[in-house]
Amino acid sequence: MKIAIGSDHNGLALKQTLLAGVLQGDTVHDVGVFASESVDYPDIAFAVAQAVASGEFDRGILICGTGIGMAIAANKVKGIRAAACSDVYSAKMSRRDNDANILCFGGRVLGPGLAAEIVTIWLAEEFAGGRHQRRIEKITAKEG
- Tell me which H or E stretch contains 93: helix 88-96
SS (H, E, C) 29-55: EECCCCCCCCCCHHHHHHHHHHHHHCC
Residues with a catalytic annotation lie at 64
**Residue 104: closest CA among 122, 130, 127:** 122
DSSP 8-state code for residue 83: E
Cα torsion 123, 90, 109, 58 to 10°: value is 30
C-beta of residue 105 within 8 angstroms of C-beta of residue 69: no
